[in-house]
A = this chain, B = another copy of it.
Amino acid sequence: MARVAVVGIGHGRFGQRSDATVQELAFEAWREALQDAGLAPDAIDASVVGSVPEYHKQRSLAGVVQEYLGLNPKPTWLTEAACASGSAAIRTAWMAIQAGLHDVVAVIGCQKMTELSTGEILALMGRVGEVQWESGFGTTFPGYYAMFARRHMHEFGTTREQLAQVAVKNHYYGARNPRALFRKEITVEKALASDPVASPFHVYDCCANADGAACVILASERRAREMGRAGVWLDGIGCASASMSVLRRPDLTGLPSAVDAARQAYAMAGASARDIKVAEVHDCFTIAEIMAYEDLGFCEKGRGGAFIEARQSYIGGTTPVNVDGGLKAKGHPIGATGVSMACEIVRQLRGQSGERQVPGADLGLTHNVGGIGQYCFVHVYRRD
């Protein structure tokens, strides 16, 4: 089977971006990706927009982005899988190329979260949980993940200090990432002393909403070689679903969709967890990163707390994770997040990450979760 190459990446600044509309955010990332790829706009055959539409006043988002980017009359549409919408767009673009339908596809992940009030956002987010039996009775996102954390603590002895250590690591790297929302280091003591949110979570256990956009340009192997841009490949894609109702989950210490998606992606890429040199995982809450270590096979089940405590997910450890700051410090513009992860991994594989560079990074992974794991997308990227 021919391969799919990543020929361009672009990434805007994440944060409260009252200076830009959502299509302007998309344009920032898109322009940088085009320049990075050395392409003119007419070289793009189609675009796929990853976003969660309901946060924007503007409906029909792919249409307005396509017009603003000057990409009419090329095909476009939007993909949505809650916080994994950006990875659904990358999967769609991979399929379009492998199907022989398009040679060069731009994937634009973009989200403006600050058009709505905090109350409106909380109401929308709650309803990413199952409406009829769960969110209607008061579940919220911190509440769902707090249940995962409590169960993980109960079963495996995971501690609040270990949760806080995830936040400390991600702030450490976020402080070194100019595109991150929070660019300051924190300490375990500061994290533990921050305001409570949903037991056992305090403020520093939770990622922050942000506005932002990211773009990757994928191309067929043939076209990438013609362009002289071959070298970084999307070699494995995995996607799985799980029940949206937490009440139907037999186990709350991991996400079954992540395990399934990783298995698919590793098999397609001919790789295993121990081959992964750098990973971006979906740390919407600190427990989510600890569960990801386990679900992805970076450590044994139940050993995620010990893994961060031993600094195995720092650069220099077994598997460096979220060395761009993760959702925690970079911010989480939900539709952009999966595409942002891809940008970071490609930059690492190219050796362009400066002081955050993982030495010898030739195989990288992204793990992007929708909701409480009703979707998970895992992608494996390789440098020749």
Question: Which A residues have a C-beta under 8 Å from some C-beta of B?
Answer: 1, 21, 46, 52-54, 57-64, 66-67, 71-82, 84-85, 88, 91-92, 94-101, 124-125, 127-128, 130-132, 237, 239-245, 248, 256-257, 260, 370-371, 374-375
Q: A62-B81, A130-B64 are in contact. Are A242 and B72 (CB under 8 A)?
A: yes
Name the B residues within 8 Å of A88 (CB-CB). Answer: 77-78
Given contacts A54-B59, A58-B127, A67-B244, 19 further A-B contacts (CB under 8 A): A59-B124, A59-B125, A60-B375, A61-B80, A63-B244, A63-B370, A64-B130, A67-B243, A67-B245, A72-B242, A75-B239, A77-B79, A77-B91, A79-B79, A95-B99, A95-B101, A96-B99, A98-B98, A98-B99
Smallest Cβ-Cβ distance to A64: which chain B residue:
B244
Give the residues in chain B near A98, CB-CB below 8 Å: 95, 98-101
Q: How far is the CA of A339 from the CA of B193 in the complex (A)?
A: 53
Taking the closest CB of chain B, its distance from the CB of A298, in whole angstroms, is 21
Given known A-B contacts A82-B60, A96-B95, A98-B100, A375 and B77 have beta carbons under 8 A apart: yes
By a CB distance below 8 angstroms, the chain B residues around A96 are 95, 99
Which listed residue, B21, B99, B128, B260, touches A94 by the CB 8 Å rule? B99
Contact flag A60-B132 (CB < 8 Å), given A1-B100, A94-B99, A99-B94: no
Contact among B46, B59, B82, B132 with A63 in the assembled complex (CB-CB below 8 Å) = B82
Enumerate chain B residues within 8 angstroms of A79, measured Cβ to Cβ.
Answer: 77-80
Which of A130, A237, A245 has the most B CB atoms < 10 Å from its CB? A130
In angstroms, Cα B91 to Cα A82, docked, is 21
Residues of B within 8 A of A85 (CB): 77
A128 near B60 with CB under 8 A, answer: yes
Report the bound CA distance from A78 to B79 in whole Å: 6
Q: Give every chain B residue within 8 A of A244 (Cβ-Cβ).
A: 60, 63-64, 66-67
Q: How far is the CB of A8 from chain B (nearest CB, A)?
A: 20
